Amino acid sequence: DARTALGFTDYKRQLSGAEYLGDEGAMPVLIEPNNPLTKNLHGMDVFKGGSDGADGVDLFAGLLSFKTALEMDDDIGIRMAITDMGKAIEQISTERAGIGARLTRVESIRLTLADFKLSTETFRSEQEDIDLSQAISELLQQQNALEAARATAARILEAPTLLSFLR
């Protein structure tokens, strides 16, 4: 019998039917201005090959036909089901490749943002950080200028004026 030849000795579990009940709602995430990225996969695309099923293989129906072909010992049905399973695997691989492309895009944007953060921090550091020796030198010059201005002001205020002669 085909089940034994393929190594399916525990075929007593019953699979009566399967139906995908998820929705086709997209979950976009804004990763750049005006550039959303969908973070989920549609179950219909993965398991049924599209929303109408015309573009691919219905994985669940293929598994059920495989089960039926095994139970009926139908060699042609088994071959057809195996072919459909191969197409379903390609279908899932295509969706996984799409995820890989999205991950590559996210990683590229992450690296760009990390570079931008580093250049921003470097620029800020250049603008905010001081050269200590230069700052001390400038402070001493300003202090000397202030002392000279005070001394000059004191001499001017102590000097005799016309008003002091009139008293």
Query: H or E stretch including 30?
Result: strand 28-32
What pLDDT sits at residue 144? Answer: 93
pTM: 0.58
Query: H or E stretch including 36?
Result: strand 35-38
What pLDDT sits at residue 5? Answer: 56
Length in residues, the chain: 167
What pLDDT sits at residue 15? Answer: 47
What pLDDT sits at residue 164? Answer: 64
What pLDDT sits at residue 14? Answer: 45
What pLDDT sits at residue 80? Answer: 94
CA dihedral of residues 126, 131, 137, 139 (deg, nearest 10) = 60
- Per run of 10 residues, the mean pLDDT along the chain (length 167 residues) is 53 52 78 85 80 75 90 92 92 91 91 94 83 86 92 78 64
Rg (CA), the chain: 40
What pLDDT sits at residue 18? Answer: 63
